[in-house]
């Protein structure tokens, strides 16, 4: 039997796609951002989509059996300020709107998605509040599940929390259980189309940075040095500033007696000027003592330099002009793999260059500049200009959409096209269609 559902904070329509596959009918959708509403109309022309949910009187929302919502995750995300319900932009309080709709329309089922950090946010109080609110509305709420596509054979690592609830007045949750995680090998190549001609080329500067880090790996191998398993912070190579006490709490005189970023002398007249000459992550004046993890990373990098300064001193000269984020590299491939970047997935992140095996993609990031690089792909000859490299490109929008179960989604028509950076951003914020479908298949028939 087809059930009616509403799609709140709809984005690209991940809930819509999942429910449509199961034969259910969308009777209402809302999305704040105008460009995403335009795209929603292209993909779901028979669904009326509205804007700001807080501006829509609850009585105008039609009756429905299922409420679906991927409510804004930024207030709870580790990448944000983690303000939760106290979010300065009031995004955390949008859960109040969800509860108002639930109270007024009493859907039989509720299906919510958010970042996994929500479960532990504010020492668990945020989740406790959500659960209590739903319980007060007389809904049965089982323990939520934190699931990632790679745990179900989908080549993407993207942990999210999934929350379900069912009206106690109509039988509650029944014998519902979340899908069981599976041990299935994944391979990013299953979503890659090597014949794709609509791709973003790798800039010359980026290729140069990859070559320099490949040289670092080659030097490790040549000198019988394992590639470090800890994050490589090249800014610490040659540095001697004291980090047992945060430099912001030291005197300019004591700092001037040491070496800063990449082993350069610290020459500032004031503490503020001295701080500009040490690694950016050590400039903070928040606490007198750094966290243990930061102390550990600094120590490990300095120890590595002291063991390998014979060749690292020359290598350092090749990175002096790099941006801070390009002076960091994480080798997330383990020791038993080929010591090369050419067959790995590479992601240029604000926190550094991340290298991982091509078994599954890292989580699609909200920032389009952090799209995974696939160095091994042979580019179609007709897309390569004379003298250009013929291998390596970024993951395409279509491939990223496949990772989210949105392979058939349209990103444009004759009158409108979503900007490519916005495509990546929206995909990074989207709900995974395949996981929602698996959960809904278990939830919705439970009490029929």
**C-alpha–C-alpha distance, residues 201 and 222, integer Å:** 31
Q: Report the candidate in 66, 65, 83 with the shortest Cα–Cα distance to residue 74.
A: 83
**C-alpha–C-alpha distance, residues 298 and 247, integer Å:** 13
Contact 345, 324 (CB under 8 A): no
Buried b (16+ CB within 10 A) or exposed e, 9-25: bbbbbbbbbbbbeeebe
CB atoms within 10 A of CB 445: 12
Which residues are bridge partners to 329 per DSSP? 232, 353
Contact 298, 282 (CB under 8 A): yes
Q: Report the length, in residues, of the chain.
A: 448
Contact 192, 399 (CB under 8 A): yes
Which residues are bridge partners to 140 per DSSP? 166
Q: Which residues have a catalytic role annotated? A: 73
**C-alpha–C-alpha distance, residues 244 and 279, integer Å:** 15
Strand, coil or helix: 378: strand
Q: How far is CA 318 from the centre of its chain?
A: 30
């Amino acid at each position: 039997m087809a059930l009616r559902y509403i799609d709140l904070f709809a984005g690209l329509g991940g809930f819509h796609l999942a429910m449509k596959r199961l034969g259910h009918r969308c009777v209402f959708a809302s999305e704040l951002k105008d460009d995403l509403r335009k795209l929603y109309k292209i993909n779901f022309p028979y669904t009326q989509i509205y804007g700001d949910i807080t501006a829509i009187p609850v009585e105008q929302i039609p009756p429905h059996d299922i409420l679906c919502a991927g409510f804004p995750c930024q207030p709870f995300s580790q990448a944000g300020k983690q303000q939760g319900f106290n979010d300065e932009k009031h995004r955390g309080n949008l859960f109040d709107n969800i509860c108002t709709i639930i109270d007024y329309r009493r859907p039989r089922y509720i299906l919510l998605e958010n970042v996994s950090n929500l479960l532990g946010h504010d020492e668990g109080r945020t989740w406790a509040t959500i659960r209590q609110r739903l319980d007060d509305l007389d809904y049965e709420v089982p323990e939520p599940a934190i699931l990632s596509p790679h745990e179900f054979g989908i080549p993407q690592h993207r942990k999210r929390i999934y929350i379900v609830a069912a009206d106690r007045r109509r039988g509650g949750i029944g014998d519902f259980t979340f899908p069981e995680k599976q041990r299935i090998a994944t391979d990013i190549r299953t979503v890659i189309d090597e014949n794709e001609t609509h791709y973003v080329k790798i800039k010359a500067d980026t290729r140069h940075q990859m070559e320099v880090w490949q040289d670092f790996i080659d030097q490790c191998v040549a000198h019988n040095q394992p590639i470090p398993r800890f994050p490589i912070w090249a800014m610490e190579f040659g540095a001697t500033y004291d980090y047992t006490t945060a430099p912001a709490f030291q005197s300019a005189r004591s700092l001037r007696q040491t070496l800063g970023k990449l082993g350069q002398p610290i020459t500032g007249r004031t503490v503020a000027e001295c701080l500009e000459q040490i690694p950016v992550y050590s400039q903070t004046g928040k606490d007198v003592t750094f966290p243990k993890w930061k102390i550990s990373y600094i120590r490990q990098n300095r120890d590595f330099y002291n063991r390998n300064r014979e060749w690292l001193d020359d290598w350092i000269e090749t990175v002096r002009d790099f941006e801070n984020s390009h002076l960091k590299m994480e080798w997330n491939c383990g020791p038993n793999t080929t010591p090369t970047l050419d067959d790995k997935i590479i992601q240029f992140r604000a926190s550094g260059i991340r290298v991982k095996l091509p078994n599954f993609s890292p989580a699609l990031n909200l920032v389009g500049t952090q799209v995974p690089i696939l160095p091994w792909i042979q580019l179609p000859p007709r897309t390569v200009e004379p003298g250009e490299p013929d291998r390596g490109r970024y993951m395409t929008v279509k491939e990223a959409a496949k990772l989210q179960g949105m392979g058939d989604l349209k990103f444009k028509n004759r009158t409108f096209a979503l900007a490519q950076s916005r495509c990546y951003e929206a995909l990074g914020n989207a709900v995974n269609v395949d996981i929602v479908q698996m959960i809904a298949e278990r939830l919705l028939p439970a009490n029929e």
